[in-house]
Amino acid sequence: MAARFVKAMAALGIDCLARPEARAAIAAQAGGATLGDIGRPVAGTVELVVVFGGDGTILRAGEWALEADIPLLGVNLGHVGFLAELEVSQFDQLVDRVARHDYVLERRLTVSVEVYPAGARQAGWTSFAINEVSLEKASRQMMIEVLASVDQSPVSRWGCDGVLVATPTGSTAYAFSAGGPVLWPDLEAFLLVPLSAHALFNRPLVLGPESQVRLELVSPLEAVLWCDGKRTVTVAPGDKVVVRRCRHWLSLARLSVQPFTNRLVKKFALPVEGWRGPAAGR
């Protein structure tokens, strides 16, 4: 699919670049079309990142494009493909619309992550997340204990398998599986979701976009921090994880403006007719 796209773009006089690890394989099937290396993004040289794959592939592309504020357009080769805009069968439409710059941009909130070693004032590890930040137990035998604070004020101390801080984009991913609510993507908010918490209060919380979340590991067990299930670091007892709004937005290219409700119903195959079927006379 990538090679077909490169060939189609070359025929229209549009240059394409590819990741170094994939360039040779794509070029071998691109019929002699010139294909450069992406390398690091340089402002003004790349208009759009076209991603062939599922949501995981789109998130991986976001690692490259987010800081450069380059929009992503996903073509679904996976299963659900919540972030993707097109299916493979719409390839001809993809080529035409990209060539004509005929798309609109949708911005999604993202978060920045800092890990502070116990007693330290400087972060020892930093990253970002498009979907979610998850602080999880490293050992299956024992729960971890996490003190969650919002804007410097303690909220709850959970004995749990872990804690998620999710964006609206991530509300349909890990947070959804953990029992969190679905947030519409244009909402500027975070989710704070405990994972299998042994506590009387273990409900997901919806936080304002300027909130700062702090997760302190208070148990004597190490934990693991994941960003989008890709970037990871070990968190030691006493360490603090601080999550706040990131200054960069995830930018998605959309070929049509449609309600998120439609995408939600389609991707999750929601039974809008109900299991009993339509009412008589309708």
Q: Where are the domains of the chain?
A: 2-108+249-268, 111-245
Say what the pLDDT of residue 225 is.
Answer: 98
Token pair in block for residue 126 = 């930093």
Q: Which residues are catalytic?
A: 55
Token pair in block for residue 96 = 């035409």
CATH number given to 111-245:
2.60.200.30
The Cα–Cα gap between 122 and 120 comes to: 6
The Cα–Cα gap between 155 and 54 comes to: 36
Domain spanning 2-108+249-268: CATH 3.40.50.10330:
yes
> Measured between alpha carbons, how far is residue 261 from residues 12, 108, 273 in Å?
36, 16, 15
* Contact indicator for 223, 217 with CB cutoff of 8 Å: yes
* Contact indicator for 19, 49 with CB cutoff of 8 Å: no
Give the Cβ contact number of residue 16 at 10 Å. 21
pTM for this one? 0.88
* Contact indicator for 146, 135 with CB cutoff of 8 Å: yes
CB half-sphere exposure, 242, CA atoms < 13 A: 19
CB half-sphere exposure, 56, CA atoms < 13 A: 7
The Cα–Cα gap between 176 and 179 comes to: 5
The Cα–Cα gap between 46 and 68 comes to: 9
**DSSP code for 255:** S
Residue the block writes with tokens 């004995």: 159
Closest CA to 56 of 31, 30, 78: 78
* Contact indicator for 248, 167 with CB cutoff of 8 Å: no
| Rounded (10°) angle between helices 2-11 and 91-99 | 40
Say what the pLDDT of residue 182 is.
Answer: 95
Going residue by residue through the chain, which has 282 residues, state the pLDDT in tens, using 9 for 90 and above: 999 999 999 999 999 999 888 888 999 998 888 888 887 655 568 899 999 998 899 999 998 889 888 999 999 887 777 888 888 888 889 999 999 999 999 999 999 999 999 999 999 999 999 999 999 999 887 899 999 999 999 999 999 999 999 999 999 999 999 999 999 999 999 999 999 999 888 999 999 999 999 999 999 999 999 999 999 999 999 999 999 999 999 999 998 888 888 888 888 888 887 767 666 555
The Cα–Cα gap between 246 and 167 comes to: 11
